[in-house]
Structure 1
Amino acid sequence: MRQKPRGDMRIRVSWTLVLPVFLAFPPFQRDRIEEIGFGEIFRMDRMRPDPALTQALRSRWDMEATAFVFPWGHMIPSLEDVSQITGLRVYGRPVSGFMYPCYHDIAERLLELPVERRSSLVPQRTVQESLGLYGVARQTGDDADEHMEQHVRSSRSELASEPGAQADMDLHRFLILFLGRLLFVTRGDTVHCRFLPLLEDLSAVGSYAWGAAFLAHQYDSLGTSERQTSTSDFYPFLQVRAYLHLPALGRGVLERPGLVPIARHWDSRRDSRSLGYHLERLQEAIDNYPYLDSYLGEGDEGQPWLVQACPYFGRSVWLHALNLVLPLHLYLSQRSLGHRQSVVEFPARDRFRRPGRSFQGLHDTTDWREQAKKQIDNWERRGRAIKSYATTDDTYPQAYALKYGGKVYKSARHQVDVAGEIASLRALLYSAVQDREAVQRQTAELRRELERVRSIGAGGASYSRGAGGSPSLLEAQLAGAVLRAEEAQRHLEEREMDLRLTTEHAMDLQG
C-alpha cells in the first residue's frame, strides 16, 4: 500500500541560515573554509526542495542492503557520488573520536554559548543570534535574494573582521551550525555538539573525510520512516543523484552545464500541483523505470578534490560519523562492475555487526576509535576493491529475483498484477531444474568412473596405485571431482527449493 504524503518540518534552516554567514565572512575566513573543504557547498545556488522525489526514493530503500531497490536491481549512493555531486572530501581521516555525555565545558570554551549541564545540545536560536542571524524579518514584497542580503548585512555586523580569538570563535560557531543544521541534521530545533571536539584544532578540521561521514548520515536517515520527505536539510544530494541516474523521471532542469561540482548544473522543476499528485506518478514511473543511467560524461576537470578521492572509488568500505558506523555495500552496485554483477552475496545483519547509532556514547564518555577499531582499520586500508568475475549477465538478476521476488514492485497496480514477475520466476525455476538435473547426471557419471578406476586398482593394475598403496593421481582427481559435483548439486537443490518458495509467494500475492 502506498504511503500518504506528509509534509516535513525540517526543510527550514538550509541555505537561508548558513549561506549568509559564509557570504558575510571576511576573505581570510572564507579562505579557511575553502582549506577545510567546504567551499564548494557554498558555490551552489539555492535549489528548491522536491519532497515528492525524496519520499518516492525513500520508499525504495532497503535498510539491510543500504541500497535502493528498483525493478532492475540495486542503486547505491557511493563516495564517488558524494565527491562528484557535492565536492565534499571523501578522503582522509575517519570522522571518529570521543563522544561525551555533556559538552558544557568545551562549548563554553570554544563557542562561549550556554549548554546545560548533562546536555549535548545548544539551542539553534542561540547559535543564530551569536552569528547575527536572528531578528531579520522578511518584509512584504521582498524576494529571496533581498531577504538573503538582509541576513548577510546583519551577520557581517557581528563577525570579526581580523584574525584572532574572536574570529576563531566565529568560525567554530559557523561550523557547528553548518554541520549540525545542514549536513548532519537531527530532529528538533537544537544544534548537537557531538562534532565539536573534532573542531577544536581548526587547522586539522580539513583532514577528516567529512563527505564519507555525510554519506553514512544519509544511509542512517534513509533508514528511518519513509513517511518523512527529507533525509537531511542538504537535500540537493539525493535530488541531483536522481536527476543524473534517473533522468526519464523529468524532475531536474539542466540549467548550468559545465560548472562543478555537479550539483551546480541543476535545479528542480517548478510545479504547483500537490505532493500527493507528484508522489503517485513518481512511484508509478519508478516501477516501470527500465535501467540505471551513469554519469553524463563527467570528467575531473576543475575538480582537484577528485584526484585524491579516486583511490576510494570502486571499493566496499566502512563509513564513519562518530557513533554511526555503516558499511558501503558497493559490490551490489551494477554501475561499478563490467557485467551486471558477479556472484551476489546479499548482506545479512548478523554478518555485519556494526556499532551503529546507539545510546552508548550518549550517556557515557566513549572513544569510538576504540569501539570501531576494526572498521577504522578497514577505512585506513581503503576497504576492499570490487572486481567482477562474472562471465554472463545472468547471475545477478537471478540472485536478485530470488532475494526480493514479487516485493520489488511497490505500486498498487504491480501488487495486484505480478504476472510478469511470476513468469520470470518460473523461467528461473525451469533453468534451475535443468542445471540441477545436468549436474546430477554428471555426478552419477563421475561416480561410475571412480568406481571403475578403483576396481581396476583392486585387481592389481600397476598404474592405479602409487608407492605404499596410496591412491593414484587419476583416482584422487576423480574423487575430488565427485566431491565438487556433489557440492554443486546440493547448492542447486537449495536454489531450486528457494525459487519454488519464492514463486509460490508471488502467486499468493497475485491471488
Structure 2
Amino acid sequence: MGFGSILEIEPFFVDPPLIQVLRDRWDWVSRTFLFPWGHMVPSLEDVARITGLRVDGEAVTGVTYADYTDFTQSLLGLEPHGDDLGDRRMVGRVALLESLGLIGVRQRADESLSAFVERAAGLARLAYGQDREETERVDRDLRRFLVFFFGKMLFTTKGDGIHCRFLELLGDLGRVGRYAWGAALLAHTFADLSVGTGMETTVGGFAPFLQVWSYYYLPLGRATQVDPDAVPLARRWLPLVSTATYNFQLDVLRRNIRDFPALLVVWEPYVDQGDDDQPWVVSGRPLFRRDIWVHCLNEIEPLRLRLAARTLGLHQRWLEETEPRGIGRKTRGKAKTVDWRVRFPDQYADWGRGGWLVVGCHRQHCVPPMLPGGVRRSQFHEAIEEVQLAEARAALETLPTAQATAEHTDAGGASSSRSVPAVEVASLQEQLAAAVTRAERAERDLLTRTEELESALARETGTVAELTEQSRQLTELRSQLAQRESDLPCDVAELQAMLTLERCDLESQVVAERLLKASEERYRCGRECAREQGRASAYSESILVTSSQYERNVRDVAAAQRSTSSRAPMGPPSLPAVVDQGEVESSRRAGPADGGEESQVASP
C-alpha cells in the first residue's frame, strides 16, 4: 500500500519551539514560509524523500458526508459518535484501539522498538485469531488500523476522536496503494498551518516532516545525523533534547532565524543525492518541478514553487503574491454531502494534467517595484546584496584557513582525550569543502544579482526623470486650465446677453406672426360671409356705388320744396323719393356686413 517506509521511522521527538518558529513564518496568502532571504516552501520532492510516501497517482479526493454510520458499521464494525450539530463523523480512539486488541499497550522503558512492535503485533493477532481464511475480518482489522494510522499519525487532528472521512477510499483495499498519500500529507500540512492561531506548538499531519525539512534547508543545530545512508531521510536524524526552558529556546530560535546568514541557507539539499532504494522518488520525479494543486479530500491547497525557484536551481525573480489562498476545509453548517471533484473541477483537472512546469524567469522582467514611503526596492535589495557579498568574501577568506587547520589536525593526529577523532575531522573537511563550494556559487550569484539591481536602478532613474517631465507638463496644463477658468465668467455673461436679445427677437416674431394670422383669419371670415350673402351683397355694392347720386337727388328735392313752399301740392309725393329713402336705410344696414375692404371701395 506504500506505507511501509514511513512505518519504519522510529518514534520522533517533537521539537515544539522549532515548530512554533516555523509557524510564525508561515504566510497564509502565498502558502509559503516567508524568511528574511525570501520564500521557501516544502515540495513534493521533500515529502517523498523525507517520509517515503508516494506523491504521484490518483488524487486523494472524493465525497465527504455528515453521517458515516453506514460506512463505520459495514467497514469497521463500530458505531460513530455525533457532535453538537448532529453530524456523525468520528469514531472514538479507545474503541478503535480496543477493537484492535491494543488498548493500554505501551512501550516499556527497557523495551526496544522492534520488540514492542512484535509484542503489539502478537496481541493484535490474538484479537482476531490465527485463521487466515477469515478474509473479511482481516480486511476489517486492516481498515481499522488504517483509520487509526491516518487519524493519529499521518493526518493528525486535535481531540480524542478520529475522523472517518477516508472510509470511502478504504472500501476497496486494492486501490489504496494507488493514491498520492504524500501529496495529501502536504495539502493537510498547508491547511493546518493556514488556520492556526499562532500559539500552536505542533502541526497537523506528520510532525517529523517539517522538523526534518528544516534540518536540510536551515541548519540550526537542532538535530544530529546518526545514519547517513538510511532511507527515507527522516530515519537519518535524531533531534537534540534541550534542558532549557521553552520560552528561552523560542527566543533563541527566533533571533537565530532573524539573523541567519543567507549564505548558509541550503537551497538544493538533494543535488548530490541519488535515487537508490527510493522507488517513491523515481515515480514522483515528473511532479517535482511543477506548480500544482494538492488534494486531501476537503483540503485543497496550491503548491507555488515559482515563489521559491532557487530550490529548483533557477533564478528567482521578485514576485508579489496576493491571490490566494487555498480552498479551505471547513464545511460545518454548509452542505452535508460534498463531492469535491465536482465542487472544484478546475483544481481536480489541474492534478490530472500534472500542474504547470516552473521555468527560469527572464532577466529583463526582474525589476522590483517601489517600497512604501518612496524607497526604491532595488536600492534596498542592492544594499542587502552588498552586505551578503561582503559576508561571502569574508567566508571565502576564512574557510581555507579552517580547512588547512582541519587537515593539519588530521595529519598530525592527537593523543590527548580532547583531540578530534579522525572520522569527525573527515566530516568537518567535507562540510568545509561543501561550504566553500556553496560560498563561491553564492558569490557568483550575488555578483549577477548586483549587476541586475544596478541595471534596474538605472532604469528606475530614467523612469523617475520621465515622470518628472510629465509632472511638469501636467502643472503647465493645470495653469492654462486655471486661466481659462478665470476668463469663463465674462464669456458666460456675453453669452447670456446674446441669449436675452435672441429671446426678445423671437418673442416679437411670434407676436407678429400671431397678428398676421389673426388678420388673415378675419379676412377669410369676411370673404366667407360675402359668399353666403350672394345677391344681397351685390345689391349693396350697387347701392354704395350710386349713393352719391341719391344724396344729390335728395338735396335737389329739398331745394325744390323750399322754393314752392307757398303753393299747395298738386298731387301725391313722388314714389321714387320714398323708395329711395327705404333703399338708403337698407343700404345702411347692409354696409357693415360687406367687410372692411368692400366698404372702403364704395366710399366716394
Provide the TM-score with structure 1 as the length reference. Answer: 0.69
Partner of 2:74: 109
Partner of 1:204: 175
Question: CA distance change for structure 1 residues 174 and 318 in 2, over 3 Å: closer, same or farther?
Answer: same
Question: CA distance change for structure 1 residues 138 and 437 in 2, over 3 Å: closer, same or farther?
Answer: closer
Question: CA distance change for structure 1 residues 233 and 273 in 2, over 3 Å: closer, same or farther?
Answer: farther
Amino acid at match of 2:283: Q
Partner of 2:347: 375
Distance 1:209 1:356 in 2: 20
Distance 1:310 1:213 in 2: 17
Distance 1:149 1:123 in 2: 25
- If asked which structure has higher relative contact order (CA below 8 Å, sep 6+), I would say 1
Give 2:363's match in structure 1, choosing from 385, 391, 400. Answer: 391
Distance 2:232 2:126 in 1: 31
Partner of 2:63: 98
Q: CA shift at 1:150, angstroms?
A: 5.0
Task: Give matches, 1:31-430, under 5 Å.
Answer: 36-116=1-81, 118-136=87-105, 142=110, 145=113, 151-161=120-130, 162=132, 164-223=135-194, 224-232=196-204, 234-247=206-219, 249-291=220-262, 292-293=265-266, 294-296=268-270, 297-342=272-317, 344-349=319-324, 354-359=326-331, 363-391=335-363, 395=366, 398=368, 402=371
Distance 2:49 2:280 in 1: 9
- 1:199 partner SS: coil
- 2:127 partner SS: coil
Distance 1:402 1:40 in 2: 47
- 1:58 partner SS: helix
Whether the aligned pair in 1 keeps the contact of 2:382 and 2:454 (CA below 8 Å) is no
Unpaired stretches in structure 2, ≥5 consecutive residues: 387-449, 470-604
Whether the aligned pair in 1 keeps the contact of 2:63 and 2:340 (CA below 8 Å) is yes
- 2:360 partner SS: coil
CA deviations on 1:58-115 (whole Å, 9 max, x unpaired) are: 1111111111111111110111100011011110111111111100011000000111
Whether the aligned pair in 2 keeps the contact of 1:100 and 1:361 (CA below 8 Å) is no
Amino acid at match of 2:256: A
Question: CA distance change for structure 1 residues 334 and 429 in 2, over 3 Å: closer, same or farther?
Answer: closer
Distance 1:274 1:217 in 2: 30
RMSD: 3.3
- 1:177 partner SS: helix
Amino acid at match of 1:304: P
CA deviations on 1:1-36 (whole Å, 9 max, x unpaired) are: xxxxxxxxxxxxxxxxxxxxxxxxxxxxxxxxxxx1
Q: CA shift at 1:366, angstroms?
A: 0.9
CA deviations on 1:273-313 (whole Å, 9 max, x unpaired) are: 22222111111111112232021522111101111100111
Distance 1:227 1:444 in 2: 49
Q: CA shift at 1:358, angstroms?
A: 2.3
Amino acid at match of 1:295: P
Whether the aligned pair in 2 keeps the contact of 1:98 and 1:365 (CA below 8 Å) is yes
List structure 1 segments (4+ residues) > 6 angstroms apart after TM superposition: 420-423, 425-433, 440-445
Q: CA shift at 1:51, angstroms?
A: 1.0
Question: CA distance change for structure 1 residues 325 and 233 in 2, over 3 Å: closer, same or farther?
Answer: closer
CA deviations on 1:445-482 (whole Å, 9 max, x unpaired) are: 9xxxxxxxxxxxxxxxxxxxxxxxxxxxxxxxxxxxxx
CA deviations on 1:170-209 (whole Å, 9 max, x unpaired) are: 1100011111111111221001000100110000111111
Distance 1:337 1:41 in 2: 25
CA deviations on 1:366-415 (whole Å, 9 max, x unpaired) are: 111101111010011110000012338x938x46x959x99xxxxxxxxx
Q: CA shift at 1:268, angstroms?
A: 0.4
Distance 1:299 1:136 in 2: 39
- 1:333 partner SS: helix
Q: CA shift at 1:343, angstroms?
A: 5.1
Partner of 2:401: none
User: Which has a greater percent of helix?
Assistant: 2
Question: CA distance change for structure 1 residues 429 and 310 in 2, over 3 Å: closer, same or farther?
Answer: closer
Q: Does 1:436 align with 2:460?
A: yes
Distance 1:356 1:254 in 2: 37
Which has the larger Rg?
2
- 1:74 partner SS: strand
Q: CA shift at 1:168, angstroms?
A: 0.2
- 1:181 partner SS: helix
Q: How many residues align?
A: 389
Distance 1:321 1:95 in 2: 5
Unpaired stretches in structure 1, ≥5 consecutive residues: 1-35, 407-419, 446-511
Partner of 1:448: none
Q: CA shift at 1:154, angstroms?
A: 2.8
Question: CA distance change for structure 1 residues 166 and 215 in 2, over 3 Å: closer, same or farther?
Answer: same
Distance 1:208 1:183 in 2: 14
Question: CA distance change for structure 1 residues 149 and 93 in 2, over 3 Å: closer, same or farther?
Answer: closer
Distance 1:231 1:89 in 2: 21
Whether the aligned pair in 1 keeps the contact of 2:185 and 2:206 (CA below 8 Å) is no
Q: CA shift at 1:439, angstroms?
A: 4.3
Question: CA distance change for structure 1 residues 173 and 274 in 2, over 3 Å: closer, same or farther?
Answer: same
Provide the TM-score with structure 2 as the length reference. Answer: 0.59
Amino acid at match of 1:316: D
Partner of 1:477: none
Distance 1:113 1:362 in 2: 26
